[in-house]
Amino acid sequence: MAASSRAQVLRLYRALLRESRRFGGYNYRMYAIRRIRDAFRENKNIKDSEKIEELVNKAKANLEVIHRQV
Protein backbone atom coordinates (compact mmCIF):
# COMPACT_ATOMS: atom_id res chain seq x y z
CA MET A 1 0.00 0.00 0.00
CA ALA A 2 1.39 3.39 -0.91
CA ALA A 3 2.11 5.92 1.83
CA SER A 4 -0.59 8.31 0.62
CA SER A 5 -3.10 5.49 0.52
CA ARG A 6 -2.15 4.43 4.04
CA ALA A 7 -2.55 8.00 5.28
CA GLN A 8 -5.90 8.25 3.51
CA VAL A 9 -7.11 5.04 5.17
CA LEU A 10 -5.98 6.21 8.61
CA ARG A 11 -7.74 9.57 8.15
CA LEU A 12 -10.88 7.73 7.12
CA TYR A 13 -10.63 5.41 10.16
CA ARG A 14 -10.27 8.35 12.54
CA ALA A 15 -13.14 10.23 10.89
CA LEU A 16 -15.42 7.19 11.19
CA LEU A 17 -14.59 6.78 14.88
CA ARG A 18 -15.00 10.52 15.52
CA GLU A 19 -18.42 10.62 13.89
CA SER A 20 -19.54 7.42 15.62
CA ARG A 21 -18.78 8.92 19.01
CA ARG A 22 -21.42 11.57 18.29
CA PHE A 23 -24.32 9.06 18.36
CA GLY A 24 -26.71 9.94 21.16
CA GLY A 25 -27.69 6.41 22.10
CA TYR A 26 -25.10 4.34 23.90
CA ASN A 27 -25.96 1.11 22.08
CA TYR A 28 -25.78 2.71 18.61
CA ARG A 29 -22.51 4.43 19.50
CA MET A 30 -20.81 1.32 20.85
CA TYR A 31 -22.06 -0.88 18.01
CA ALA A 32 -20.75 1.55 15.39
CA ILE A 33 -17.36 1.89 17.07
CA ARG A 34 -17.01 -1.87 17.53
CA ARG A 35 -18.03 -2.55 13.93
CA ILE A 36 -15.58 0.00 12.53
CA ARG A 37 -12.67 -1.38 14.56
CA ASP A 38 -13.51 -4.97 13.65
CA ALA A 39 -13.82 -4.18 9.93
CA PHE A 40 -10.50 -2.35 9.80
CA ARG A 41 -8.72 -5.10 11.75
CA GLU A 42 -10.23 -7.76 9.51
CA ASN A 43 -9.04 -6.04 6.34
CA LYS A 44 -5.66 -4.71 7.47
CA ASN A 45 -3.63 -7.37 5.62
CA ILE A 46 -5.21 -6.93 2.20
CA LYS A 47 -2.62 -6.13 -0.48
CA ASP A 48 -4.80 -5.99 -3.62
CA SER A 49 -5.12 -2.31 -4.61
CA GLU A 50 -8.51 -2.81 -6.28
CA LYS A 51 -9.94 -4.44 -3.16
CA ILE A 52 -8.47 -1.67 -1.00
CA GLU A 53 -10.05 0.97 -3.23
CA GLU A 54 -13.40 -0.82 -3.03
CA LEU A 55 -13.22 -0.98 0.77
CA VAL A 56 -12.22 2.69 1.03
CA ASN A 57 -15.18 3.71 -1.11
CA LYS A 58 -17.50 1.59 1.03
CA ALA A 59 -16.09 3.21 4.19
CA LYS A 60 -16.63 6.69 2.71
CA ALA A 61 -20.25 5.81 1.98
CA ASN A 62 -20.65 4.54 5.55
CA LEU A 63 -19.13 7.77 6.87
CA GLU A 64 -21.74 9.76 4.95
CA VAL A 65 -24.51 7.58 6.41
CA ILE A 66 -23.20 8.04 9.95
CA HIS A 67 -22.85 11.77 9.37
CA ARG A 68 -26.49 12.03 8.25
CA GLN A 69 -27.76 9.96 11.19
CA VAL A 70 -25.86 11.91 13.83
Judged by phi (left if over 0) then psi (alpha if -120 to 50, else beta), residue 23 lies in beta
Catalogue the E-assigned strands of the chain.
none
Note the pTM of the prediction, 2 decimals. 0.89
- Residue 18: per-residue pLDDT: 97
- Residue 2: per-residue pLDDT: 65
∠ CA 34-35-37, rounded to 5°: 65
- Residue 41: per-residue pLDDT: 96
- Residue 5: per-residue pLDDT: 86
The total of other beta-carbon atoms located within 10 Å of residue 10's CB is 11
Average confidence (pLDDT) per 10 residues, the chain, 70 residues: 79 97 96 97 93 94 95
